[in-house]
């Protein structure tokens, strides 16, 4: 299953922090950092996911105008 959680809500001052599709944060292993951005490359949300997939964007971010998912690897953000 594609587990993910929002850990930082930047556009709503924390309102959506903790939105997730898993019972507990411990299920996000390995923890891959991700962020959701709009088409102007403005970051709206940051979070953790268990594997490389578009679930956080498709199931959550798209409803807030997010168009891009980036993940953190080897010290830099990469677009999925």
Domain boundaries, the chain: 4-79
Structure tokens at 26: 């411990």
**Which pLDDT value is given to residue 11?**
80
More confidently predicted of 12 and 66: 66
Measured between alpha carbons, how far is residue 43 from residues 1, 5, 26, 63, 65 in Å?
25, 16, 25, 14, 11
User: Considering the chain, what percentage of its residues have pLDDT values greater than 90?
Assistant: 49
pTM: 0.81
What confidence category does residue 57 fall into, taking pLDDT thresholds of 50, 70 and 90? very high
- Strand locations in 1-80, DSSP E? 4-9, 32-37, 43-49, 68-73, 76-79
pLDDT in tens, 21-54: 554 555 556 689 999 999 999 999 999 988 888 9
């Amino acid at each position: 299953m594609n587990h993910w959680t929002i850990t930082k809500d930047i556009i709503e001052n924390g309102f959506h922090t903790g939105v997730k599709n898993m019972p507990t944060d411990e299920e996000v292993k390995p923890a891959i950092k991700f962020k959701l951005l709009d088409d102007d490359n403005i970051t709206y949300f940051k979070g953790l996911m268990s594997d490389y997939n578009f679930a956080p964007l498709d199931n959550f971010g798209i409803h807030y105008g997010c168009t891009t998912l980036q993940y953190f690897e080897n010290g830099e953000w990469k677009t999925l």
